[in-house]
Chains A and B, each alone.
Chain A
């Protein structure tokens, strides 16, 4: 086999499958939306005097592609603006988890058997004993109760949420890293590197963490990012602990229009829903009424985003197998 044929062979192995394409597509989409959100401000329409109030729950039109919500705000703008609620706090969660878990796991794995490693391992176990959602809700509740104007502190609360979700993910990531490091510590190439005089720091950082744990860490941070989207939107949907209105979040957009869902269901039921034409009429009415899109848009957005980052995690999991 010639060298060039080996080259093409490797590139064939590295080709991206549909899962990877989907994952990266969603990632690029999210980044795009986050950038767009910087230029979008959807909230002032709440108590406006200077502009004409839009009809609430209006159907889609060329001016408002997704229609309006229950207070007459443009749904598309709010959907875009809502990316702000989880994007940077989600990255913050990943950062917190990676910055604490990777060194902890690496040290616990590499100097396995030493006292320091035992202490670190104990810490990881201790964190893992906390139930994630309860921890998040309790800490956020304490925080919200202790500031005078919770709405003004919303941004801080989101990052607090991110930090907490990141912390709660540390045992999982730290455990995975430490297991991997333990495995590679005994490999002959690590012994060879050590024998040749490469320092422990360099072996750990370069040979083990960079070369052999990179994809593992990326994979876990992608999963964590998806978990954070889920936590943020769930809490925002439930109210109180997530994004406080009037700031939009996919969760509270969904919560806001949920009453109209019931309404549009009754509209659908009133028409002759058994004939295809009647059914379509009901759906049309629901679309015209805004309710259906108000429900579908955040639901699909949440589902696609989480599926996308999990696809990215899968992409790295495939790369991870040595």
Chain B
């Protein structure tokens, strides 16, 4: 049953300390991710948790240095029998992502649509460039036909007029649709959308996420959706990963997160409460940002913010010390659900 299109094994990504410290800081710690073919996987976590760094490192988009320092990532594009190495710690591999994958194997939708479009090229030409990646040697008329097809696919009204526009003439929602069209035009097996709804208002957000889900279902494409908001991912996620400070603290199928069941990670609960509060219009629970994590090595990454430690219930009063000093083991409430928390694993 497991047929991942992309998977990682204990992947570590480090970046140089912006404050000029000696050793690089680990921003992704031992990530194990499996993106199932044709499924929608969501990577959820607050800003700065390392979601984007992980995605960029995987897919060889410049950015973090020294980058991947340990672990491996593999891809199995449609039709390939063996996994293709994406990134690894060996020097030979570094900076050579996607060595034997066809160009345009993965499509990307970036956070800010206006930044991911070239401001001085017409929309049609930019979609056209992607079309020629998938199909070389097309006549200009054939390229134009496909461009209009893709603009129509993302539900842009009047595609012929839109193709003639420059990016600054588009609204945010339209620009994001164009960015999706550009990503789709390379006919990718995998679509990665990095916070595609940031900067859009609520009504448009829903449209964009629905559009992504619908496109992936219709084309049998795998989707990795990166978001900080549970409300956004709620109705399209098949599989979820929750990330906090570089660590994947919980992963599981959709029912593990949105249906009542055995325990979930306190951080997941916090994110869900926050999303709910935003939707209901009440003020979200206060963050205890003043609390600094003790040391990066031992203990649970969430210990400094965990409400179960800050305000322990009587039965959990003994946990605090262990959470801060012992690395929490993985607890599996069911075969496909994993939680990295001592408290969830030892129900009292």
Q: B120, A212: Cβ atoms under 8 Å? A: yes
When distances are taken between beta carbons in the complex, the residues of chain B under 8 Å from A193 are: 118, 129
Distance between Cα atoms of A196 and B108 in the complex (Å): 7
0/1 per residue, B139-163, Cβ < 8 Å to A? 0000000000000000000100110
**How far in angstroms is the closest Cβ of chain B from A110?**
12
Q: Which of B98-106, B221-229, B268-276, B277-285 contacts A (4 or more CB under 8 A)?
A: B98-106
> Is B12 engaged at the interface, CB distance under 8 Å to the other chain?
no
> Is A188 engaged at the interface, CB distance under 8 Å to the other chain?
yes
Distance between Cα atoms of A194 and B108 in the complex (Å): 10
Q: Identify the closest chain A residue to B102 (Cβ).
A: A197
Q: How many residues of A contact B (CB 8 A)?
A: 22
Q: A188, B116: Cβ atoms under 8 Å? A: yes
When distances are taken between beta carbons in the complex, the residues of chain A under 8 Å from B162 are: 3
Q: Identify the closest chain A residue to B188 (Cβ).
A: A196
> Is B119 engaged at the interface, CB distance under 8 Å to the other chain?
yes
Q: B129, A188: Cβ atoms under 8 Å? A: no
> Is A276 engaged at the interface, CB distance under 8 Å to the other chain?
no
Give the contacting residue for B115; candidates A3, A188, A194, A322; CB below 8 A.
A188
Q: Known contacts A196-B104, A196-B130, A197-B103: does B61 contact A189 (CB below 8 Å)? A: no
**How far in angstroms is the closest Cβ of chain B from A206?**
7
0/1 per residue, B73-117, Cβ < 8 Å to A? 000000000000000000000000010001111111010100111
Distance between Cα atoms of A194 and B98 in the complex (Å): 12
Q: Identify the closest chain A residue to B130 (Cβ).
A: A196
**How far in angstroms is the closest Cβ of chain A from B203?**
18
When distances are taken between beta carbons in the complex, the residues of chain A under 8 Å from B105 are: 197
Q: A6, B108: Cβ atoms under 8 Å? A: no
Q: B104, A197: Cβ atoms under 8 Å? A: yes
Give the contacting residue for A197; candidates B110, B115, B116, B186; CB below 8 A.
B186
Q: Known contacts A197-B104, A202-B129: does B169 contact A192 (CB below 8 Å)? A: no
Distance between Cα atoms of A305 and B105 in the complex (Å): 54
**How far in angstroms is the closest Cβ of chain B from A209?**
11
Q: Known contacts A6-B165, A188-B115, A196-B133: does B108 contact A211 (CB below 8 Å)? A: no
Distance between Cα atoms of A194 and B121 in the complex (Å): 16
Q: A195, B133: Cβ atoms under 8 Å? A: no
User: Would you list which residues of chain A between 161 and 210 have a CB under 8 Å from chain B?
Assistant: 187-189, 191-199, 202, 206-207
Distance between Cα atoms of A4 and B4 in the complex (Å): 46
Q: A207, B115: Cβ atoms under 8 Å? A: no
**How far in angstroms is the closest Cβ of chain A from B126?**
8
Q: B62, A191: Cβ atoms under 8 Å? A: yes
**How far in angstroms is the closest Cβ of chain B from A188?**
4
**How far in angstroms is the closest Cβ of chain A from B249?**
28
Q: A188, B183: Cβ atoms under 8 Å? A: no
> Is B33 engaged at the interface, CB distance under 8 Å to the other chain?
no
Q: Identify the closest chain A residue to B162 (Cβ).
A: A3
> Is A115 engaged at the interface, CB distance under 8 Å to the other chain?
no
Q: Known contacts A10-B169, A188-B112, A211-B120: does B104 contact A194 (CB below 8 Å)? A: no
**How far in angstroms is the closest Cβ of chain B from A70?**
53
Give the contacting residue for A192; candidates B60, B121, B182; CB below 8 A.
B182
Q: Which of A3, A9, A195 has the most CB of B within 10 A?
A: A195
When distances are taken between beta carbons in the complex, the residues of chain A under 8 Å from B103 are: 196-199
Q: B169, A189: Cβ atoms under 8 Å? A: no
Q: A3, B158: Cβ atoms under 8 Å? A: yes
> Is B59 engaged at the interface, CB distance under 8 Å to the other chain?
yes
0/1 per residue, A297-322, Cβ < 8 Å to B? 00000000000000000000000001
Q: A6, B169: Cβ atoms under 8 Å? A: yes
Q: A195, B59: Cβ atoms under 8 Å? A: yes
Q: Identify the closest chain A residue to B133 (Cβ).
A: A197
When distances are taken between beta carbons in the complex, the residues of chain A under 8 Å from B183 are: 196
Residues of B that sit less than 8 Å from A by CB:
59-62, 98, 102-108, 110, 112, 115-121, 129-130, 133, 158, 161-162, 165-166, 169, 179, 182-183, 186
Enumerate 24 A-B pairs (CB-CB under 8 Å) in ascending A order.
A3-B158, A3-B161, A3-B162, A3-B165, A10-B169, A188-B112, A189-B115, A189-B118, A191-B62, A191-B116, A192-B110, A192-B179, A193-B118, A193-B129, A195-B61, A195-B106, A196-B103, A196-B183, A197-B133, A197-B186, A198-B133, A206-B129, A207-B121, A211-B120
In order of increasing CB-CB distance, the 3 nearest A-B pairs are A197-B103, A188-B115, A197-B104
